Chains A and B, each alone.
Chain A
Amino acid sequence: MNKDNKYDIVVIGGGHAGIEAAAIAAKMKCKTALLTMDFKTIGVPSCNPSIGGTAKGHLVKEIDALGGAMGFLADQAGIHFKMLNISKGPAIWSPRCQIDKDLYPQVALKYLQSLKYLDLVEGLVKEVKLIKKKIYSIICNNGTELTAKSLIICSGTFLNGKMFTGRDVSVGGRFGEQSSENLSDLLENYGIKRGRLKTGTPPRISAESIDYGRLDIQAGDMNPAPFSYLSNKVENKVLCFQTETNEDVHTELRKGFGDSPMFNGIIKGIGPRYCPSIEDKINRFADRDGHKIILEPEGLNTNSVYVNGFSTSLPKEVQINALRKIRGLKKCEILRYGYAIEYDFFYPYQLKYTLESKILPNLYFAGQINGTSGYEEAACQGLIAGINAAAKIKKLDDLVLKRSDAYIGVLIDDLVNKSTEEPYRIFTSSAEYRLLLRQDNAKYRLCDYAMKYKLIPKERYNQLKSEQNIIEESLFETKNIKIKADDINSYFIQIGETTLIDSTDINTLSKRPGVSLEHLINMTNAKPKSLSSIIKNKELLNILNIEIKYEGYINRQKKEIERFLHNEEKRIPVNFEYNSLSSLSNEAREKLMKIKPESLGQASRISGVTSSDISVIALFLR
């Protein structure tokens, strides 16, 4: 550890955001300290034992493309890998893996310890002071004192955390752990506005008490693929199982509604609409007689099983009675009851796109403190905050990803401009240009940014560029290779496709549903350079296939992006007097003055600002 405790960057909190922020800042050669209550809880998955999923898998791939840790850590701790939505379009294919929840913190700790510029420090923040508007001084309960040029706060659900099970209320940031009270008040004293949110977690049950014979198996993929380019191979080591709730279960649950902190007004924070508790689900979808439940093992050396889809804060006896009415869980034993947690967050409109506070200089916020939900959402913010904090110290440009660059860009743009009323979760539908923002091309989309900040090795960058080249050239080559009708018709008859009359290029042919590009390339005798190399690489071939099949739509989205960027470049002066425009609605005026959008495009995405408000501003700017 640094002798004088003077750092470039101090990261408060060792969750998924904190890990990324600290690691990337250290990689960018800033003297960094990660301050956590307990080394052993670094990277603990508080809720589900999995990383990735619909749209979240995209985030993990993007984090990996920018030199982040999450994908690499998940690969090492992963025990069940699955590409979701494979039956749907390629834009929403999303990788997910189950992780060993005990192993994940271990690999995370080992990874952080291996970083030369990073110190890990234990302590609970008692006081934060900004000295001469330049240096942050952080004083901990245990007497530890640190100073930093930049401070990144990644405190998760620990700010004034309160946990609820039925009428039982306890203080803490996670089961069995204390919460952090001082920090939230300190920040508020600096004029930063806070609110309250709620999230929940389901019960864990013991593996021995489950009747597996009565459940449906959910296996991992045959050929599991890792998240990270740094990982060679991953393996499936466990199975997941599926069951569902029924009317009897719902009846049991309803018995506890009177004692539910969600319904009796004890919990005031607003919960996530999209990851609702089971009591919320049966309340809101009253006509449904069952909800899907997935049983996910929490690790290789534990008998704890996570009951996915059964998040609840109902009283303990209601939880157990209801669970035991579910198929396969008749004799189940609860190891830990589900609970809801309520915590402070800070309104993210107070942030710049770099995640730096608009109110205090060199203070960054990342993760659940910004009102998001999910490990992946937290991690990508940690990464961006870390890169920007380091870039500022190294006098490099800000890193601001646009909505057309990455899901990360979509997420941060939404956070800053859309008022969070509930925990924010990423969706594929949040991304306007999702045919371009796929999980398979994240590494290509972001490699120029990664190289700019030296987040990936030069060789990796060169390799990505050459792969991109092969794909582009192959795309071109497919338009020039024609296949004669006689040569292809027998294949078409075999797969039930309309036969050809004239010879046709393989680009056109492979756009037909059910026609295999690989087959067409293999039929070609004299293969041009790029096609002959791409045919040997399954991954690149798959990308080429997508690029051809959806070429028309991909090109349309590229056109739309041009339009989008045009509006992003229409600058609004910082001192624009919204007050003098009487026709703006009060809500729009208030939001615009609060957020101070940099461009017309940004203004148009602020919730409460209508298109007629934008027209007024646009006319005025001309």
Chain B
Amino acid sequence: MIINDTITALATVPGISGIAVIRMSGDDAVKIVSNCFRGSAPLMEAERNTIHFGKIYSKNYLMDSVLVSVFRNPHSYTGEDTIEISCHGGNTTYSLIIDELISQGARQAEPGEFTKRAFINGKLDLLQAEAVSDMIHSVSVSGSIISARQLHSGISTKIKKFRQILLDACSLVELDSDFSDEDIEIINRKDLKEKAEEVLNFCTSLIESFNSAKIFRSGFYVAIAGFPNSGKSTLFNSLLGRNRAIVSQTPGTTRDYLEESILVSGVAVKLFDTAGLRETEDAIEIEGINFSHSVLSQANIIFVLNDISISEEHSDSLYKKIQEDYLAQKVYLIQNKVDRLPSLPEINKNAYISAKYGEGLPDLFNIIRTEIEKNKANINDILINERHLILLKGAAEAIRRAISELDYLSPNEIIAIELHDAARYFGEMTGQAWNEEVLNNIFSKFCIGK
């Protein structure tokens, strides 16, 4: 068994950048780098947690000036001797250095292999490894913070507590089956049901918080909809603060939808400009309108834009229809092009803006901010991911079945099957119950270099 062969990979995103970081881990990490590194002192004797300036050579040919960070086993991310080489960015330098390291005996790392080693060497537990993956994939500041919290502290305490409640309930049921002819107290089915309901409530509240927490992982979606030529693309550009969409007088200019991100309240807000909604025979435009609907169905907020210069009620029917079709979304009617009115209507029913001149835009940002804060308020300190969600749903279903079997006066062994099932889902969430697929999923999501 060779566990500590030395692996290497680029740890930063490839492409144009100021610096790039190459990571190496394994028994020979220091030796391999020192073979091609020339600095003021030999690298082999370098203490742990030190940084060294020097040059990387390949067969006496200078490749780059670099900073080399030395981490010594077990005080490193992987628990092995680890080197991080900070070299200049760009597409060629790092790959030449990696080629050199490989020719010196290192091996290209597989996706997630650094984290896998950290796990095998006991530096991370399964949940922490998962949190690392979530952090990399998080699109928001808060998302990373919550993942980081998960990484450093045990968020699983709560889940473990409820798992224990389930396991205790199981053993009571088992006791009742196995000691029926002896004199150990028989379970009270009413108490059992109450316990099951307590756990079920926990599951459903976590599932609800997932929907809120989704904005931290995938972002908060704001879609702009409306009739053609209501000024959607103009608003899109204004919110974005730059010209991204093509703006023209011709209705139906936006055929596809456009997507861009801005940061609001620490959350990535994805703005969608959609094709104008109208009856049309143009095949491309119809396709665009179909796209619009798929975007709307994923949105958190839909702004229905009305051209007030036509009439304030011009889009009312469309607004009503969208409200009915998209029940899960917050739909706002926005009156645009107020710059074309001599004066604002006396009774302010809606938001009034001029996308073109930026009037009223702070109101729109306030709407977005308020919705984001509402979502944040729904989240406790447990942030669950898709995998947890699936497990929680499984657990909730099992408990619901257990409750209905209890109502049905089904035998103990049936109740036990459901409770064990629910406990298993909980166990897989915290890593207390072993499941191969979990392992595969967690480590397959990683990119190379992590």
Contacts and interface: CB of A to CB of B under 8 A. Distances in A.
Interface stretch (A86-94, A155-163, A364-372): A86-94
A618 B183 contact: no
Interface stretch (B281-289, B347-355, B410-418): B410-418
B177 A619 contact: no
Contacts of A90: 411
Contact of B1 (A291, A550, A577): A577
A579 to B, nearest CB: 10
Contacts of A516: none
A344 to B, nearest CB: 28
A92 B120 contact: no
Contacts of A553: 414, 417
B119 A583 contact: yes
A611 B120 CA distance: 13
B408 A54 contact: no
A88 B177 contact: yes
A611 B413 contact: no
Residue from A244, A288, A611, A618 with most neighbouring chain B CB atoms (10 Å): A611
Contact of A618 (B181, B413, B414, B436): B436
Contact of A615 (B74, B177, B180, B431): B431
Question: Which bracket fits the contact residues of B?
Answer: 35 or more
A513 B408 contact: yes
A182 interface: no
A565 interface: no
A592 to B, nearest CB: 14
A359 interface: no
Contacts of B433: 611
A231 interface: no
A567 B436 contact: yes
A53 B182 CA distance: 11
B414 A88 contact: no
B228 interface: no
Given A618-B436, A619-B116, A619-B439, A54 B181 contact: yes
A290 B3 CA distance: 61
A615 B443 CA distance: 12
B293 to A, nearest CB: 38
A85 interface: yes
A427 B181 CA distance: 13
A576 B3 CA distance: 12
Given A54-B180, A309-B183, A553-B417, A583 B122 contact: yes
Interface stretch (A19-27, A64-72, A315-323, A428-436): A428-436
Interface string A583-622: 1000000000000000000001000001110111011100
A616 B119 contact: yes
A611 B434 contact: yes
Nearest to A620: B120
Query: Which of A55, A291, A435, A583 has its CB near the most chain B CB atoms (within 10 A)?
Result: A583
Contacts of B180: 54, 84-85, 88, 92
Nearest to B127: A612
A581 interface: yes
A429 B1 contact: no
Contact of B181 (A53, A244, A550): A53
Interface of A: 53-55, 84-85, 88-92, 244, 274, 281, 285, 288, 290-292, 309, 427-429, 434-435, 513, 550, 553, 556-557, 567, 576-577, 580-583, 604, 610-612, 614-616, 618-620
16 contacts: A53-B181, A89-B412, A274-B179, A288-B183, A427-B178, A428-B174, A428-B413, A553-B417, A582-B121, A610-B432, A611-B427, A615-B431, A616-B119, A618-B434, A619-B116, A620-B120
